[in-house]
Chains A and B, each alone.
Chain A
Amino acid sequence: MSPAPQPAEDMSLRVQELAGNLKIRDVMTRKVFAVTRTCTMRDVQIILMHNAISGVPVVDDKHVIGMVSVHDIMNAYEQGWMQDSVCDHMTTGVRTLAEEQPLSFAMSAFSKFPYRRFPVVNRNNELTGMVTLRNINMALIQELSRQLDAIETEGGLITPAATSENCIFYRIYRIARYDFESGGKASAELREQLQARGVAPKTIRRAAVACYELEINIIAHSYGGTLTLYIDRDRVRITANDFGPGIPDIDQAMTEGFSTASDWIRSQGFGAGMGLPNTKRLSDEFAIHSGVDMGTMVKSVVHLNPQENPADESK
């Protein structure tokens, strides 16, 4: 098996968020047309044509030894190799993906390599599925519409079991511009959830304050957006996602004291230019992406296991 590709660094946070809990086996096609080494290029051509697919893996005892694509068939046709064995003209050194890998690995594989499909293998390195960009697009669209449905029907609460086996709590909050009245809803619920699970008070404070800062950021600085809470046994992930106006200079926005807040917002005690730096300081993992006129996405992760977290003392 080829070495696993790493998640693409330039993948937008929103897409990462959507792909977050999905594994390759959740999106792959399980009905796979594969051929053995005894097949000819002509056999493959017939399989591709009858099933409207553009490539098949060649397997030997369930192990992938090569791929034959439409391109290989066209070449074989031109060269008069159609009666040859697939072994003579298949593409070898095929990159495979593992079922257990996160979907983001597959996404980065597509951006890194020129292939349009990847065979997926299980732990025994046996072929179990195929992944194409179409699988990924469908999975992302489904996840997006599931989240929208949850916002409209369940107030954002998504069934934990549907997202990941480790997930304890998963909720999306819709946050409106200048709705200071509602500020703190998500952080209050986050605190309740963590208290109910006996998380250390210092860790709860870090997570709840980070969450509150991000809520207020959406209310005070954006045109509106969503805040997503995801809790599993080990961590809290808070993702703030707004619809603009975006931050032209992120380094500046991360500088303590820098603020673009209006006088009115400042008069309410916000806009001190400390929200993002505070959030970063309180987080064990922090990421921010922004596009002018597009929006801003901030991700803050707080680890819940106090043993692993001497940082609590200093934070």
Chain B
Amino acid sequence: MKVNELKFQGLECVQPVGAEITGGYTSDLLSDVMAHLKEGDALITIQAHKNTIAVASLTGASAVILCHGRTATPDVLEAAAKEKIAVFVSANSQYETTVKLARALRV
């Protein structure tokens, strides 16, 4: 599924990029993300800072979904644009977002 086709309740796209989303990985520990996120996964996290984008970029994540009402600050959006990573925000928890992403991807 293309990133720009991803739509579910509570999800808002703040930085669109047309990459392919193939799966997801949910974690707030960046080392854990680096060890386990697979290329093409969307990263579901509450870590709303620039290093999240750096980690997403290093691991080949297609998108970052910031949960629990965390907002994307301008420096985060700028870094994401530079690294061509889509950014979404959601008021839902990581759990709810994970379930909805899985349904959207029909995993």
Nearest Cβ distance between residue A265 and chain B, in whole angstroms? 11
Residues of A within 8 Å of B54, CB to CB, are 183-184, 187-188, 212
Nearest Cβ distance between residue B12 and chain A, in whole angstroms? 22
Residues of B within 8 Å of A272, CB to CB, are 29-32
Chain A 165-194, CB-CB to B under 8 Å as 1, else 0, gives: 000000000000000110110011001000
Total residue contacts A-B, CB cutoff 8 A: 61
Q: Which residues of B (8-54) have their CB < 8 Å from a CB of A?
A: 28-32, 34-35, 39, 45, 47, 49-52, 54
Which one of A191, A205, A278 contacts B31 once the chains associate, using CB atoms below 8 Å?
A278
Tell yes or no: A269 within 8 A of B by CB: yes
Tell yes or no: A314 within 8 A of B by CB: no
- The size of the chain A interface, using a CB distance under 8 A, is 22
Tell yes or no: B91 within 8 A of A by CB: no
Nearest Cβ distance between residue A153 and chain B, in whole angstroms? 27
Given contacts A180-B51, A274-B35, contact A269 B30 (CB under 8 A): yes
Whether B52 contacts A269 by the Cβ 8 Å rule is yes
Whether A212 contacts B58 by the Cβ 8 Å rule is yes
When chains A and B are docked, how far (Å) is the Cα of A185 from the Cα of B51?
11
Tell yes or no: A51 within 8 A of B by CB: no
Whether B34 contacts A269 by the Cβ 8 Å rule is no
Tell yes or no: A99 within 8 A of B by CB: no
Chain A 263-296, CB-CB to B under 8 Å as 1, else 0, gives: 0000011101011001001000000000000000
Given contacts A184-B51, A269-B51, A278-B35, contact A205 B28 (CB under 8 A): no
Which one of B28, B34, B45, B47 contacts A209 once the chains associate, using CB atoms below 8 Å?
B34
Nearest Cβ distance between residue B20 and chain A, in whole angstroms? 15
Residue on A with the closest CB to B60?
A: A205
Main secondary structure of the interface of B (DSSP, over half): helix
Residue on B with the closest CB to A211?
A: B58
User: Which among B29, B54, B60 has the greatest number of chain A C-beta atoms within 10 A?
Assistant: B54
Tell yes or no: B55 within 8 A of A by CB: yes
Whether A270 contacts B59 by the Cβ 8 Å rule is no
Tell yes or no: B57 within 8 A of A by CB: yes
Given contacts A183-B51, A212-B34, A268-B47, contact A274 B29 (CB under 8 A): yes
Chain A 40-83, CB-CB to B under 8 Å as 1, else 0, gives: 00000000000000000000000000000000000000000000
Tell yes or no: A242 within 8 A of B by CB: no
Residue on A with the closest CB to B31?
A: A274
When chains A and B are docked, how far (Å) is the Cα of A278 from the Cα of B51?
17
Nearest Cβ distance between residue B81 and chain A, in whole angstroms? 15
Nearest Cβ distance between residue A286 and chain B, in whole angstroms? 15
When chains A and B are docked, how far (Å) is the Cα of A180 from the Cα of B47?
13
When chains A and B are docked, how far (Å) is the Cα of A268 from the Cα of B47?
6
Residues of A within 8 Å of B57, CB to CB, are 188
When chains A and B are docked, how far (Å) is the Cα of A213 from the Cα of B29?
12
Residues of B within 8 Å of A268, CB to CB, are 47, 49, 51
Residues of B within 8 Å of A208, CB to CB, are 58
23 A–B contacts, CB within 8 A, in A order: A180-B49, A180-B50, A180-B51, A183-B51, A183-B54, A184-B51, A184-B54, A187-B54, A201-B39, A201-B60, A205-B59, A205-B60, A209-B59, A212-B58, A213-B31, A213-B34, A269-B29, A269-B45, A269-B49, A272-B30, A274-B31, A274-B32, A278-B34
Given contacts A269-B49, A274-B32, 4 further A-B contacts (CB under 8 A): A180-B49, A188-B57, A209-B34, A209-B58
Q: What are the 4 A-B residue pairs with the smallest beta carbon separation, nearest first? A: A184-B54, A274-B31, A272-B29, A269-B47
